[in-house]
């Protein structure tokens, strides 16, 4: 069984944390800190709860005021990177909301080692006007981690983060930030801009379509095209007509799907195989095709829910294109499978052209 992410916080790691703190705060009671972290509730805590719990214990055992403790936290931050180091920005989020300037300066430093995308959100919610100026200033930073934070931290629908409902209602706050970053030299930053726009598209598709059209008109850069395509990915999956036409995916009038075959049944934990041919009608104009497959999964309530997966994008030549694909029903933490009738379908440019049923057996 694969190790859980939350289990990275083991005794060796917490010893590392304690030793790092003691280097900058010599009176730190390392053993007491570690004992307090691994209390009787520790095993029941998930990843985010563990990061916050560690931050709380740091606040307890570094017996200084917030600004003095923050200086220690900033010094140790370079030793704790990636998601493992998320307890560092969590400390600022939990205890620094009343010290905007010092806390935001600290997050700009910390995000270069462990992303502060979660921690910055309460500051945006509590201090929207001041934070708007700060986020815009961050877009001009020399450091790409800080520039990315300006976009990623303000995403309306950042996964696993606190909501920013005002941005779901009105994304205008975000648009100057994204405009400033759209031509960023870093793919890491541009990817965040695309993700932010994809979030916006879920509530305001026309806003994103207008931005996409304008940006593509302003620049024919491969980076711009890739950014815009990624920003529109949910709209493309939803077969939003303006998004499809923006990328040249017209109704598939000259395309047929023939011979769709799938295993009649598949056991939970095994793999479903299916295949078909995509046929272009000879003598007619060639279509640019976005080819996807969909599975209508049986849900607990006995109804089906569709999930769409992209297969390819291609111009179908004057002969058949073979499609052969598999889908694993191996148990995963992000999806619960239920036995019963399922459907696999083939879509071209958002239009379903063929489908067939199969049974999942528990």
What is residue 358's DSSP assignment? E
Residues of the chain with CATH 1.25.40.290: 5-246
H/E stretch holding 289: strand 288-298
Residues of the chain with CATH 2.60.40.10: 255-361
**pLDDT tens figures, 249-278:** 989 888 899 999 999 999 999 999 999 999
Model confidence band, residue 320 (pLDDT cutoffs 50, 70, 90): confident
**pLDDT tens figures, 5-25:** 888 999 999 999 999 999 999
8 A C-beta contact, residue 21 and residue 76: yes
Across the chain, mean pLDDT equals 94
The CATH number of the structural domain formed by 255-361 is 2.60.40.10
- Of the candidates 193, 125, 201, the one whose C-alpha atom is nearest the C-alpha of residue 165 is 125
**pLDDT tens figures, 284-305:** 666 788 999 999 999 999 999 9
Structure tokens at 55: 């931050």
**pLDDT tens figures, 61-102:** 999 999 999 999 999 999 999 889 999 999 999 999 999 999
- Of the candidates 108, 100, 115, the one whose C-alpha atom is nearest the C-alpha of residue 152 is 115
The CATH number of the structural domain formed by 5-246 is 1.25.40.290
H/E stretch holding 209: helix 205-218
Cα–Cα dist 222/236, whole Å: 19
The per-residue pLDDT for 285 is 62
């Amino acid at each position: 069984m694969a190790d859980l992410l939350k289990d990275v916080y083991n005794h060796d790691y917490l010893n590392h944390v304690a030793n790092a703190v003691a280097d900058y705060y010599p009176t730190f009671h390392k053993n007491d800190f570690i004992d307090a972290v691994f209390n009787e509730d520790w095993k029941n805590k998930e990843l985010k709860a563990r990061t916050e719990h560690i931050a709380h214990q740091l606040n307890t055992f570094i017996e200084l005021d917030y600004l003095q403790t923050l200086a220690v936290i900033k010094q140790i931050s370079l030793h704790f990177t990636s998601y493992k180091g998320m307890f560092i920005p969590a400390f600022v989020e939990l205890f620094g909301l009343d010290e905007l300037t010092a806390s935001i300066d600290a997050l700009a430093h910390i995000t270069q080692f462990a992303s502060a995308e979660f921690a910055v959100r309460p500051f945006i919610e509590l201090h929207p006007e001041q934070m708007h100026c700060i986020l815009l200033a961050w877009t001009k930073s020399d450091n790409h981690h800080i520039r990315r934070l300006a976009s990623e931290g303000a995403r309306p629908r950042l996964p696993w983060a606190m909501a920013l409902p005002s941005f779901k209602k009105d994304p205008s706050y975000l648009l100057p930030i994204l405009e400033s970053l759209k031509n960023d030299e870093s793919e890491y930053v541009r990817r965040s801009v695309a993700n932010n726009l994809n979030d916006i598209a879920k509530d305001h598709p026309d806003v994103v379509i207008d931005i996409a059209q304008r940006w593509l008109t302003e620049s024919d850069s491969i980076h711009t095209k890739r950014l815009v395509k990624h920003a529109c990915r949910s709209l493309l999956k939803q077969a939003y007509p303006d998004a499809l036409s923006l990328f040249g995916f017209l109704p598939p009038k000259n395309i047929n799907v023939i011979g769709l075959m799938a295993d009649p049944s598949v056991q939970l934990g095994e793999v479903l195989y299916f295949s078909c041919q995509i046929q272009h009608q000879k003598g007619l104009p060639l279509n640019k095709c976005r080819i996807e497959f969909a599975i209508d999964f049986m849900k607990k309530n006995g109804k089906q829910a569709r999930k769409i997966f992209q297969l390819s994008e291609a111009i179908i030549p004057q002969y058949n294109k073979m499609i052969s694909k598999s889908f694993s029903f191996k148990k995963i933490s992000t999806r619960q499978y239920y036995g019963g009738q399922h459907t696999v379908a083939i879509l071209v440019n958002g239009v379903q052209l063929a489908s067939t049923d199969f049974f999942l057996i528990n």
